[in-house]
Each structure stands twice: as C-alpha cells, then as structure tokens.
Amino acid sequence: MKKKIMVSLLSLSMVMGMLAGCAQGGSTSTAPAAQEEAPAKESKEEEAAPAEETAESGDDVTITFMASQDWIQDAEMELGEKFTEQTGIKVDYQIVPSDQYESLLMTKINAGECTDIFGGQSSQFSIVTQFDVEKNAVDLSGESWAGNVDPAAAVELSAGGKLYGQPIQDVSACWAVAYNISMFDELGLKIPTNYAEFCDVCEKIKAAGIIPIYECVSDGWHHVCWTEAAVAATQADASYPEKLNNNEATFAGNKELTTMFSQLKEMADKGYMGDNYMSNEYADAPASIASGEYAMVLYNQGLGAEVHAADPNFSEDNIGYFVNPLCDNQALNVNYCGPSRFIFSGSKNIDAAKKYLEFMASDESLAYMTENVGKFNQLPYSNAPSAYSEVVQDFYDRYPKKVAVFQASVKYYNPAWMDIGADMSAMFLGEMTPEEVLKDIDKLRAEQAAAASDPAWK
C-alpha cells in the first residue's frame, strides 16, 4: 500500500513538473514572437521611450551574447546588470576559451543557431568573407549611436555602405613590448632600437635571474601578434599588402617575414621566453609581470592598470612601452580592427539586442568602461572620454611612423589567424621551419579565397 502511495505521489510530482515546464516555455516563447510582430516604426518609438516604459516589454526576454575570453570585461557585465535593472532584459554572457572560439562561432553561424549577439573581429575584408555579415548580421546603420563610431573603426565594420558591428575595445592601442621601468633602471637597460639591442637587453635580464619575456602560446593567438607588431618592417614596398590581396605576391619568400619568424624562434630557443611559454595563459600576464618573475610582455597600452590591479603596490606608471624590434622595426602598428559586437540576423530578440548595443554606446557606459578597464584609454566613439596617461602618450609620441597591420590590410589573413597560431606553435616545437609556416599561410589564404570564389585566385 505504502509503495502504491509513493508511486502515485512520484507520478503526480512528475506530471506537475512537466506542466510547470510547459507553462514556463509558453511564456518565454511568446515574448520574442510579440517582438517579431511589432512593426519597425514601433521599435523606433521604443528607442526614444524612457527606460521605465521598456521595462515591461523586456520581461522574460533573455538575450545571449557569446564572445571570446577577454572580450567581455567585468565592467561590461556590471553594466549588463544595470541594463537589466533598467529594461528588464536579461543578458546571458557566454564566454568561450579563445583557442576554441572561432571554430565554435563559425559552426554556430553556419548552422544558423548563433547567439543573439556574437563577438567577432572587425575587418572590412573578413566580416564579408568570414562572417558574411550581409546575410548573418543585422544592419545597424540606423541606430542612434552609429554616427558616433570613429570613422576609421566604422570602415572596418561596414560592408556595402552599411554598418554591421559595434566596437567593443579601444582600437587606438597597439601591440608593443610593455616593460617594467624600475627593473630596466636597476639593471641599467635602455629601450632597444633594433633586434640586436633587444637580444642584449634579454641577455642581461636573463643573467639577473629574471625571465625576459612572458609569452602565452596556449591561447593560440597571442604569439601571432609578434609578427603583426613588426609589420612595418615587411613593407619597404608599400604596395605589398595590395599585391597580396590581388594574389600577385606571397608570404613565402618574403625576406623580412622569414627573418621575423626566425628571430621569434631564436628568442624561444635562447630561453628569453622561459620554460613555460607553451602553457602560459594570456590572462596571467599582468600577475606574472607584477610578481617580478618576468620583465616584458607583448601587450596593449593598458597593462599598467592591469598590473596595478593585480598588485596594488605596483605603480601603474611603472610600465613603459617600446615598439616590437623584430626585424629592426621602429614603427607603430595601427589596427582599427578589434573585437566587436554583431547582432545575429536569425535572432528572435533583435530589438532587445539593439537596446543592449544602444545602452553600451551611451555616454555613461563608455565613461564607465574607460574608467574601469585598464587597457581602454580611448574607445572609438566621439562621445567616449580620453584617458591616456603620460607614459602612454610619451610612447605614441616617440614613434611617428604608423603602418596598418595585416589583420586589417590583407584579405584572408584574419580568418587564418588561429591556424597561423598553430603553425607557429609547431615552429616553436621544431616541427615546422619559418619558411614552411609562411608557405602554409599562403595555402590557408588560398583555401579561403577558393571557398569564397575570389576572382584573383582563379
């Protein structure tokens, strides 16, 4: 008898659970449907409406936002909470390890099952060839904040004259060698101006029992930045990127690039990157510099604040910068491309996602991000505040020459980034030579070009 009562109770609870589940599903599914039916005119009116009014419509709507590790800052998630308070729209952040992000994102986009908002690298070439934004992303040209985006950054987010993305990060910052100023002073070191001097500096640091460079190959992308950071050295012929885009030149056989890759391998072999560069992680860079175990790291111009956050006794101004001296480079690399937010065209919550983007581009949000994210000195919006420190300003003033990186100027380079990273990792392990890596970059670009039916590759 007891058994029967138990079974009946269990069955009853299961049925109730199922009914509750169905009821919940019903309420959430109606919200996006109602939004879809709303005419465009109404959505424009909603934009102008105060936050209190929209709070009601946002009930039960959760927008999903997928991005690579380090693209979504804590400050953005804090703003996300404020956004939820104001609109009732919840934001589900899905942060994916950087070495796995690209494959996952492209699989989701190609399967038509992407998140409402997805993070992607901007580039006027790859947003078309890789993301096919005209098909997979929502046109944001008409949004209230679109006119505030820095024109140079907007170019990298536009296709066919329409804006498809919203910049997440400060694109004025560039990849440069960040160093511990007091450590350099103690060891009597000067900023190197060529590769030979750089090696001397590394030797002296190593002799002092400190690992010269913090490198993190395991993330899959960071070590590729070394080549981008010295890209000027490859462009004695300024038309080289254009020739690459027209399939009139190759990476293989480029003397400067071969030297650059060989020097990078040499740095690893000489122990300038320590023993653990293959397993180090990008996220640990500030703490590693703060600990004094490492002297330098290839980073953007926000490291000082991040090191200070990791160790409050470490002064923010104790981090200085110089350009990557591989191949004797002495020019700044500029890249108006950077991680950006795109709204997936197949999303059922397009209006809610647009509201989130509008919120993130507001004066208050941009000021909050600049104030709370160390590496954000000048977000690419006309309404964003500027926060360059003296050290950073001095760095920019020291190098007047600027050259655009391959990521921005060369077709099919950005989509191959992680594969190039894998090749370079094989080079560090001695499985590939610098010449083979360069040859493989040509092959990877040709595969992308063939898939995209690029006439220059036919």
What is the nearest approach in angstroms of another protein to the Cβ of residue 339? 18
> Quick check: 438 binds another protein (CB under 8 A)?
no
> Quick check: 106 binds another protein (CB under 8 A)?
yes
Between CA 400 and CA 71 the distance in angstroms is: 29
Instruction: Write each residue from 245 to 284 as x if it is in contact with another protein (CB under 8 A), else as -, in one continuous string.
Output: ------------------------------xx-xxx----
Helix or strand or coil: residue 378? strand
**Candidates 94-102, 229-237, 306-314, 342-350; binding stretch for another protein (CB under 8 A):** 94-102
What is the nearest approach in angstroms of another protein to the Cβ of residue 64? 19
Nearer to another protein, 61 or 66 (CB): 66
For residue 75, count CB atoms less than 10 angstroms from its CB and return exposed for 0-12, middle for 13-18, buried for 19 or more.
Answer: middle
What is the nearest approach in angstroms of another protein to the Cβ of residue 87? 33
Between CA 128 and CA 124 the distance in angstroms is: 7
The neighbour count for residue 387, using CB atoms within 10 Å, is 18
Nearer to another protein, 192 or 415 (CB): 415
> Quick check: 95 binds another protein (CB under 8 A)?
no
> Quick check: 102 binds another protein (CB under 8 A)?
yes
What is the nearest approach in angstroms of another protein to the Cβ of residue 345? 14
How far, in Å, are 39, 146, 178 from residue 370 at the CA level? 36, 19, 20
Residue type, 142: G
- Ramachandran region of residue 60, left (φ > 0), alpha (ψ -120 to 50) or beta? left
Instruction: Write each residue from 410 to 429 as x if it is in contact with another protein (CB under 8 A), else as -, in one continuous string.
Output: -----x------xx-xx-xx
> Quick check: 453 binds another protein (CB under 8 A)?
yes
Nearest of 91, 87, 92, 80 to residue 57 by alpha carbon: 87
Q: In what order do the strands lie in the sheet with 117-121?
A: 90-96, 62-68, 117-121, 339-343, 165-167
> Quick check: 104 binds another protein (CB under 8 A)?
yes
Residues in the interface with another protein (CB under 8 A) total: 36
What is the nearest approach in angstroms of another protein to the Cβ of residue 188? 29
In the structure encoding, which two tokens stand for residue 372, read together? Answer: 């709370």
> Quick check: 70 binds another protein (CB under 8 A)?
no
What is the nearest approach in angstroms of another protein to the Cβ of residue 135? 9
In the structure encoding, which two tokens stand for residue 115, read together? Answer: 């998140």
Nearer to another protein, 220 or 339 (CB): 220
Nearer to another protein, 218 or 409 (CB): 218
How far, in Å, are 11, 176, 333, 341 from residue 229 at the CA level? 65, 6, 6, 24
> Quick check: 217 binds another protein (CB under 8 A)?
yes
DSSP state of 163: E
In the structure encoding, which two tokens stand for residue 399, read together? Answer: 């190098």
Q: In what order do the strands lie in the sheet with 176-180?
A: 211-214, 294-299, 176-180, 319-322
Single out the residue of 99, 134, 311, 435 in contact with another protein (rule: CB under 8 A).
99
What is the nearest approach in angstroms of another protein to the Cβ of residue 132? 7
**Candidates 128-136, 140-148, 235-243, 377-385; binding stretch for another protein (CB under 8 A):** 128-136
In the structure encoding, which two tokens stand for residue 410, read together? Answer: 């060369």
For residue 183, what are the contacts with CB-CB under 8 A and spacing of at least 6? 205, 210, 292, 295
What is the nearest approach in angstroms of another protein to the Cβ of residue 432? 7
Single out the residue of 28, 29, 30, 107 in contact with another protein (rule: CB under 8 A).
107
- Based on its alpha-carbon atoms, the radius of gyration of the chain, rounded to whole angstroms, reads 25
What is the nearest approach in angstroms of another protein to the Cβ of residue 99? 5
| Residues in region 132-161 near another protein by CB under 8 A | 132
Q: Which residues lie near another protein (CB under 8 A)?
A: 99-100, 102-107, 109-110, 129-130, 132, 217-218, 220, 275-276, 278-280, 415, 422-423, 425-426, 428-429, 431-432, 443, 447-448, 451-453
